[in-house]
Structure 1
Amino acid sequence: MPDRSDVCVLVPTYNESGAIEQVVTGFRDAGYETVLVIDGGSTDGTQSIAESAGARVIEQSGSGKGQAVREAIDHIEAPYILMVDGDATYRPEDADAMVEPLFEGRADHVVGDRFADMERGAMTRLNRAGNWLINHAFRAIHGRDLGDILSGYRAFTRASIERLSLSADGFGIETEMAVECIKHDLRTAVVPIRYECRPTEAETNLRPIRDGAVIGLTLYQMARTSNPLFYFGSLGLMTSTAGAGVGLYVAVEWITRSITHEIMAVLAAMGIIFGVQLLMFAVLSDVIVTLHRERMRRFEDLAARLDRLTGADARASTVEPPAFDGGQSDGDRSDDGSESTDDSAE
């Protein structure tokens, strides 16, 4: 059974000097000795404070939380990773509950649900509204409820994170991870956690309007490959609806006032035709993606079976052969183990 020594606590940071010591010492006191802080070039002493608290510190080559997570994976050897923000809003006391589904083999990826127990004032109304909108959009697009896809408290196996194709640089990394889990059919669990207020001395790096727009755009763009029926279907529906609206206006003008709008009529027809084509393309793309996922699932099942067979052959090859008895059969030995001779037989 795995234990806390098999877990690496990953903490992406940027100017978190007001809270990073509390984060590192909290997890180390909770029994998670391996803490990796990957820093985006802080100028407030975050790196030295983290090192003094007992963390291993690496400065990332680029910038942004997404880039930090991708780069950190190459520096982690532990089979399990617990990712947490460096602002002390997540409790070390919830760490055991986060990694438990991984240890028990029930999940490959775990999301901590902040809305299950949120401290008063931990999130502004604007942030709450943005989180609600993005979570509902995710459920509508992918048909899955992961509770809180923007949560920064996550646990996952190293093997599962290596399967994901991550490219986001900033705060869109959590959204990208959620979408990739759905795309690769990873077993994902949601664990209720306590979300607390940020310490007063810790400054936030989140810009709600800009970062919210980036996250929403990331979610929509990723639907192109994860749910093409929604992505191209929504574009086709909007285009055909706009074309139909213009066409209706042209028809009303021609009927009521005998005014013809030739150019607008042509544009309306083009919009309707293009929209219908997009809808057809959406259906075909969805069929292709479904078949691709089914084929990949079969390949993964086959690979797992081959791994099991290879492991069984390896174990069989390690069985020790019977000891060499000098070419004598059991009949050539007496009951007490001494060798019989022809003379004794006579």
Structure 2
Amino acid sequence: MSTQRPTLSVVIPVYNERNTILEIVDRVLEQPEVDEIVLVDDHSTDGTRDILRSLQGREKLQVLFHERNQGKGAALRTAFRAATKDLVLIQDADLEYDPADYPHLLAPIHMGRADAVFGSRFLGGTHRVLYFWHYLANRFLTLLSNVFTGLNLTDMEVCYKVFRREHLQRMTIVCDRFGIEPELTAKIARMKVRIYEVPVSYYGRTYEEGKKIGWKDGVSAIYWIVRFGLIRTR
């Protein structure tokens, strides 16, 4: 009986990451599990678009462009539609997450135990020590999400999430910005699939180094958690 592993698309939303984009693409391509990378530039203004244009036609790469800035959620929505492989893994373009963690993220699925896998920055992986209030906010948002979804995640806001593409195709994604994290969590929870969580490394950036998420995104996340918890959005 064939035990061929499922194929993998890595989707990367990109906005103003000219200093890291080439390195993250190279590091993702180094991972033997990767069959396809889908990059979506969300109308960068710092020269990133020109760098991405230079990558068009490179093996394993799809490079797509938004004609106006819409947000991370919108970029992922575009990437999900373009992905062609069995599994879809979300990767940020800013080097905060290490593609060397892919084998750990994929192992529960390859072992036949999981249909979706979340990374967690709070389960013992290597992480840079940074903002206390960000840590508290992440824990609060995860707790609130768990109240509505019935899951027992430790890090709902983590970038690293892996889904079977067939499950993503059943979702209608509506969030354009960082509300995408609670939206994906709520909608995969409703599908009653097998979800695992594994520790991942985290090399966080300061705002001076280019970190984009802020307190307004945290407030927005509360809105989306409650919305998706109370209203079944098809």
Output the TM-score relative to the length of structure 2. Answer: 0.87
Q: Does 1:43 align with 2:55?
A: no
Tell me the CA shift for residue 197 of structure 1.
3.0
* CA deviation map 1:284-333 (0-9, x unaligned): xxxxxxxxxxxxxxxxxxxxxxxxxxxxxxxxxxxxxxxxxxxxxxxxxx
* CA deviation map 1:197-239 (0-9, x unaligned): 33998512212x100000011101112136xxxxxxxxxxxxx
Q: Which of 101, 114, 127 is the aligned partner of 2:121?
A: 114
With CA pairs under 8 Å and 6+ residues apart, which has the higher RCO, 1 or 2?
2
* CA deviation map 1:263-293 (0-9, x unaligned): xxxxxxxxxxxxxxxxxxxxxxxxxxxxxxx
Report the counterpart of residue 36 of structure 2 in structure 1.
34
**Contact 2:35–2:85 at 8 Å: present in 1 too?**
no
Q: Does 1:225 align with 2:231?
A: yes
1:1-346 equivalences in 2 (<5 Å): 1-3=3-5, 6-31=7-32, 32-50=34-52, 52=54, 54=58, 55-60=61-66, 63-116=70-123, 117-121=125-129, 123-198=130-205, 202-207=209-214, 209-225=215-231
Secondary structure (helix, strand or coil) at the match of 1:167 reads coil
**Contact 1:119–1:194 at 8 Å: present in 2 too?**
yes
Secondary structure (helix, strand or coil) at the match of 1:194 reads coil
Secondary structure (helix, strand or coil) at the match of 1:58 reads strand
**Contact 1:24–1:50 at 8 Å: present in 2 too?**
no
Inter-CA distance 102–52: structure 2 relative to 1 (3 Å threshold):
farther
CA distance in 1, matches of 2:39, 2:141: 28
Inter-CA distance 113–91: structure 2 relative to 1 (3 Å threshold):
same
Secondary structure (helix, strand or coil) at the match of 1:204 reads coil
Q: Could you say what the CA RMSD is over the residues aligned between the two structures, in angstroms?
A: 2.2
Letter in 2 for 1:34: E
* CA deviation map 1:87-108 (0-9, x unaligned): 1111111011112222333222
Tell me the CA shift for residue 69 of structure 1.
1.2
Secondary structure (helix, strand or coil) at the match of 1:195 reads coil
Structure 2 gap ranges (5+): none
Secondary structure (helix, strand or coil) at the match of 2:122 reads strand
* CA deviation map 1:83-129 (0-9, x unaligned): 111111111110111122223332221111012224233x4112111
Structure 1 gap ranges (5+): 227-346
Report the counterpart of residue 302 of structure 1 in structure 2.
none
**Contact 1:165–1:180 at 8 Å: present in 2 too?**
no
Tell me the CA shift for residue 2 of structure 1.
4.0
CA distance in 2, matches of 1:199, 1:47: 23
**Contact 2:128–2:202 at 8 Å: present in 1 too?**
no
Rg larger for: 1
Letter in 2 for 1:188: I
**Contact 1:112–1:190 at 8 Å: present in 2 too?**
yes
CA distance in 1, matches of 2:9, 2:204: 24
Larger helix share, 1 or 2: 1
Tell me the CA shift for residue 45 of structure 1.
2.1
Identical positions, percent: 27
Letter in 1 for 2:78: E
CA distance in 2, matches of 1:98, 1:112: 7
**Contact 1:109–1:160 at 8 Å: present in 2 too?**
no
